[in-house]
Amino acid sequence: MPAPTAHASDPAERIGALAHAEPDLRVSAGDGTPGELLGAVWSHTPVVAEVVGLNRHAIVLHLSGSTLVEKWCDGRLVGHRSRIGSVSLVPAEVPSRWVLSGHSRVAHVYVDPQRLALAAARRDGPPCAPCLTDFFAEPDEVLASLVRLVFTNAQAGTLDGLAQDEVMAQLECHLLRCYAGAHPSAAAPARVTLTAATLRRLFEHIEARLGGELHLADLAALARLSDDHFLRAFKAAVGQTPHQYVLARRIAHTQGLLERSALPIAAVAQAAGFRGASHFAAAFRQRVGTSPSEWRAQRRH
């Protein structure tokens, strides 16, 4: 079928136009900025799609349905059968042809090549090219679990900016380690530890900014580490990822406000850095097992 030549800034719009489909679900970036699309879920009918002009890499997780899938690049058959639970790449700016012979359901996470190049430049360890080697129907459970994590957080209402930073940093690091041109996956990641003084600075920084935006890059810079090394070092030292720790501190802060003040739920959410009342309620219920208003009523009784 003829393919449009104009670039679309939204990768889901581009793929939808080429595959004659609409996504079942769209997941935006943690801050909800319009146009910042992080991922999408698709139910595809049988189709032949020439994918060109995609401005981001699409990491594809095969969720269910037909496994009769062909992928062609440069006139070469890359793969002729997918597997449920496997991951594939729809590369940015590289034409590829997909033949779907049956109904299938897939999840996409979109990766900006410029952001990947920045992650490669900042990466500790052996140098690697920011371009990805092609892959199709890989049984990569780590990558599959990171794609699932995006949608699990989104459906739970807890995909805030820091949660997005974490999962995308892990995903980018995994792509660079396993699928970059130099394939540096054989090298074991270096063990990095955080000193007590660094942890104290991090905790003070987080407490001072609980009511505002917190980003992984800022915390990693404070520790003078790359994002991926900081993630591993923080979890080793604290037993939680930075997002889990910040979420626990925010929930503790809101519990104090709920118990000792008459602030409305929305004001409590804002004071603790949640995006809104629904984000706060979802995170609170996930952590505490009840809604903020129910918890407040129980404590007062």
The 10s digit of each residue's pLDDT in 101-124 is 999 999 999 999 988 888 888 766
Residue indicated by tokens 């990641």: 189
Buried b (16+ CB within 10 A) or exposed e, 287-300: beeeebeebbeeee
Q: Does pLDDT of 192 surpass 60?
A: yes
pLDDT, residue 127, reads 54
- Does CATH number 1.10.10.60 belong to domain 190-301? yes
What integer is the mean pLDDT of 270-290?
89
Parts of the chain belonging to CATH 2.60.120.10: 11-179
Alpha helices in the chain (DSSP H): 11-19, 113-122, 141-156, 161-179, 196-208, 216-222, 227-238, 242-260, 265-271, 277-288, 292-300
- Residue 1's pLDDT is 31
11-179, which class in CATH?
A: mainly beta
The pLDDT-based confidence of 90 (bands split at 50, 70, 90) is: very high
Angle of helix 113-122 relative to helix 161-179, nearest 10 degrees, comes to: 80
Average pLDDT of the residues in 206-226: 91
Contact criterion met (CB below 8 Å) for 274 and 250: yes
Q: Which pLDDT band, with edges at 50, 70 and 90, does 125 fall under? A: low
**H or E element, residue 27:** strand 25-28
- The Cα–Cα gap between 160 and 157 comes to 8
Residue 79 has a pLDDT of 86
Q: How far apart are CA 120 and CA 152, in angstroms?
A: 27
> So what's the pLDDT on residue 184?
41
Q: How far apart are CA 142 and CA 272, in angstroms?
A: 32
Grouping H, G, I as helix, E, B as strand and the rest as coil, residue 267 is helix
- Backbone phi and psi for residue 236, each to the nearest 5 degrees, phi listed first: -65, -35
pLDDT at residue 32 in the model: 46
CB 254 within 8 A of CB 239: no
For the stretch 21-53, pLDDT in tens is 999 999 987 544 444 789 999 999 999 999 988
**What is the predicted pLDDT for the residue at 6?**
35
- Which ranges in the chain are annotated with CATH 1.10.10.60? 190-301
Q: Is the pLDDT of residue 154 over 90?
A: no
Burial class (CB in 10 A: 0-12, 13-18, 19+), 207: exposed
pTM here? 0.78
Residue 236 pLDDT greater than 50, yes or no: yes
Alpha-carbon distances, residue 15 vs 188, 248, 282, 283 (angstroms): 36, 38, 31, 32
pLDDT value, residue 275: 83
Task: Provide the Cα torsion 76, 81, 83, 89; round to 10°.
Answer: 20
- Residue 65 DSSP SS3: strand
Which pLDDT score, from 0 to 100, does residue 191 have? 62
pLDDT at position 76, please?
84
For residue 163, which of 27, 26, 24, 257 has the smallest C-alpha distance?
Answer: 27
The yes-or-no verdict on residue 257 having pLDDT over 70 is yes
